[in-house]
Structure 1
């Protein structure tokens, strides 16, 4: 009897572990093109509570977006790859943004609000927030060493995936990954 209970427990644990791995494996299988750079974490990790501001000077933290999946994008106006991917991030946010998902763009370092507004107008960004990390406090704590860096947070506010470098966030692959994340279990 003791052997059977241990075997059942082991099997249940193994199946549970495999289910978790299958979810990550499913997401990894959806990566194509530039999305192949997206690395999924083995375990979700907490993110810092460091604050950043909006254009009015109001403080925010990543915890403000808990309850939904969040694609946090660290960028700067002077960064050519960042500028290139902004329209794709905007399209992704327009199509998927809402109660379950949002793209949150955070300009790191010295980025003047008028320059950000001008850039958003030039490239047609309409749905992305203007958030600022001028002293690089959040960026440093999140281990952002270059730009752009995108981090996906789960609804509990934990990091589950990360990508360094620009990506085609409006591609079929990116849309499939976000769609799979939002799919009810």
Structure 2
């Protein structure tokens, strides 16, 4: 009985972390890896191509239940911040997808049709970042440098989350 209570207590602690505690902002910016990502249109980019934008590069997988659960809130978040200087891009492993039609059907099914979607060319970018679990969000400033990360899932469309990300965008102008 006692071990069950301890286990439940640990689970509650694990799932009750706040956003500000979960985001790690670095004391110094870090350079970005140059691995390519591929847009649904077939065009290839590196994250440095987004220089000039404040970017949240959200790594996720279609086999990750928390990733799928947050897709709709990511879509809502995108619609709240897209005209306020924040660019959200979803990135998933290329090996998970047959083609762009499958990607579109999946995103539609889970309510994320408005967000830009990319796949990692040769599934390299997440490894180059040292990302081995999803969801995982890399925060990139307008100079094209990594300034922080959020490990784990979030309810992205909550006001406190939107406000905090907009504060970060302002800080890194």
Q: Is this a same-fold pair by TM over 0.5?
A: yes
1:3-152 superposed matches below 5 A = 33-98=18-83, 100-112=85-97, 113-152=100-139
| 3-state SS of 1:166 partner | coil
CA deviations over 1:23-64 (Å, ceiling 9, x no partner): xxxxxxxxx734521111111111112112122322111112
| 3-state SS of 1:178 partner | helix
- The 2-side partners of 1:52 and 1:115 are apart by 17
Unmatched runs of 5 consecutive residues or more in structure 1: 1-31
Deviation at 1:99, TM superposition (A): 6.9
Unmatched runs of 5 consecutive residues or more in structure 2: 1-16
CA root-mean-square deviation: 2.0
Contact 2:86 2:166 in 1 (8 A): no
- The 1-side partners of 2:38 and 2:84 are apart by 22
Contact 2:92 2:120 in 1 (8 A): yes
| 3-state SS of 1:105 partner | strand
Structure 2 residue corresponding to 1:173, chosen from 157, 160, 169: 160
Contact 2:138 2:148 in 1 (8 A): yes
Structure 1 runs of 4+ off > 2 angstroms?
Answer: 32-36, 113-116, 181-185
**Are the structure 2 counterparts of residues 49 and 121 from structure 1 closer, same or farther at C-alpha, using a change threshold of 3 Å?**
same
**Are the structure 2 counterparts of residues 35 and 117 from structure 1 closer, same or farther at C-alpha, using a change threshold of 3 Å?**
farther
- The 2-side partners of 1:99 and 1:62 are apart by 20
- The 2-side partners of 1:147 and 1:156 are apart by 25
**Are the structure 2 counterparts of residues 35 and 119 from structure 1 closer, same or farther at C-alpha, using a change threshold of 3 Å?**
farther
Superposition TM-score, scaled by structure 2 size: 0.80
Deviation at 1:98, TM superposition (A): 3.6
Within the alignment, does 1:162 sit opposite 2:118 as a pair? Answer: no
Q: Which has the larger radius of gyration?
A: 1
Superposition TM-score, scaled by structure 1 size: 0.75
